[in-house]
Structure 1
């Protein structure tokens, strides 16, 4: 069976293509972000796994949570998370209720028993948006924190290689010993000392 990421790709592309053509990219991204949080919740997972609950009831519950907790709420945990993610300093930003097109998209996912894919759909959707803006996220893990000069050099090299604006997300893992691991989309570049030692070990034992 295909993995969740592979299954999610066509749904994410269809969602982004529609949203981009109709000027609602941010609205759909907001919904997919919150929907991802909802389906990852243990109690909602129980609902998804219950065969006695009709598909339309599952999708309706998801849409209703967004409409009440984000679009119709002055303040809520979902809205606080959404505002923080969007860089808003307060939760007074207004969000529209779920549109008919978005509701139909959720219904389609539910009918095909794919609501659990929403976190992966959201991640792929973000990548489509970033590519359309010529912006990519690069997740860089190093043995030691990057200096300003190293960060600037790495960012420039990645931007030139990928022909896009690059946003670097940094983390530190001393077990790498030296060097770095870089993840952009589905591609991983392991240039760490640990990775090179593992490659050498594999070659010697082959």
Structure 2
């Protein structure tokens, strides 16, 4: 899997740099999302592995699918990008390219994803307070992803990047148990 990531990184960087220069970062991310989902489809994978189908035909299929799913047709830049990937036999990298592209976008826009799992749904006040505190501590715009897990008993867990904070009752009980048995 690391090999796919390594191969995808320069394509994602090139796509992001171009999209940034053209001021179409969100359009390219939308395209890569659709293309990534198509590239994971079993029928499309079979098409990719069929040597009788040319790179031009593979490009046309992917662009046609994108155009059918969106209101705006693929730009010339997107078509050129997919053509290059197809000619290099790299269309299978699209999911990894999307992952790297999204990271580059987040870095550029100074955004971080925060994953909050709480025992009960957050109230609007709790959500606002959490967003404010996380924005202050990270110096970034926070995109909050919420989940509910009743097994936490109370409190919440928060994951931002590689930092994990366990403020749940379940977590506190585990800490207490560890301290008492040590």
1:13 equivalenced with 2:13 (yes/no)? yes
Question: What secondary structure sits across from 1:181 in the alignment?
Answer: strand
Structure of greater Rg: 2
Shift of 1:172: 0.9
Q: Does 2:149 correspond to 1:187?
A: no
1:61 alignment counterpart: 61
Other-structure match for 2:72? 95
Unaligned regions of 5+ residues in structure 1, if any? 70-77, 80-93
TM-score (norm 1): 0.69
Q: What TM-score comes out, normalization by structure 2 length?
A: 0.76
Structure 2: which 5+ residue stretches go unaligned? none
| Map of 1:82 onto structure 2 | none
Separation in 2 of the partners of 1:172 and 1:3?
A: 35
Please show how residues 1-206 of structure 1 align to structure 2 within 5 Å. 2=2, 4-5=4-5, 7-67=7-67, 69=68, 78-79=69-70, 94-99=71-76, 101-184=77-160, 186-191=161-166, 192=168, 197=174
Q: 1:189–1:49: structure 2 CA closer, same or farther, 3 Å change rule?
A: farther
RMSD: 3.0
